[in-house]
Amino acid sequence: MRPKPRKLRLIADDESGLAIIAAAIQDALFLAKETTFLKLARRFSLPLQRFCHESEGENKRGHRAWSLLSFDGVLSVRAKNVSRMSNIPKSILDVKFVAGDIAPSGTIIITLAEHGELALEVECIDVMLGDIGEARAAVRAPNHENGD
């Protein structure tokens, strides 16, 4: 029996670092009502159940770990096709940075399944991802052919 994946801790302050975090949280699940935007602190956080792609092949379903994704220097947050009242988990597909007119500002776009999107206007890329719980066997692995 192979050991569970080790806890992941990542920090990004540029686009290449953000791409690494994007890969780590692809297929992560979260509830919109659990997101937090602290306007005065300029911080947006979301707890999520990260699919541990690094453990693929260890069992049929893989593992999920509770993680916290945090963005600092956030000026505003916009949502498209995301209801804060919904109890239906949202799935993260990708995260990209679109540079603004004045470097290093811009917009971080979190693309979600079912045409959802979160857009964070940021002063700069300042992102942290950390597992806050032990990895557990997933109920099922993501299946992109079925839209999961």
The 3-class secondary structure across the chain, one letter per residue, is CCCCCCCCEEEECCHHHHHHHHHHHCCCEECHHHCEEECCCCEEEEEEEEECHHHCCCCCCCEEEEEEEEEECEEEEEEECCCCCCCCCEEEEEEEEEECCCCCCEEEEEEECCCEEEEEEECCCCEEEEECCCCEECCCCCCHHHCC
Residue 23 domain-assigned (yes or no): yes
Residue 79 domain-assigned (yes or no): yes
Residue 2 domain-assigned (yes or no): no
Domain containing 117 equals 9-135
In tens digits, the chain (148 residues) has pLDDT values of 455 567 899 999 999 999 999 999 999 999 999 999 999 999 999 999 999 877 655 566 788 899 999 999 999 999 999 998 889 999 999 999 999 999 999 999 999 999 999 999 999 999 999 999 888 877 776 765 544 5
Residue 140 domain-assigned (yes or no): no
Task: Please count the structural domains in the chain.
Answer: 1
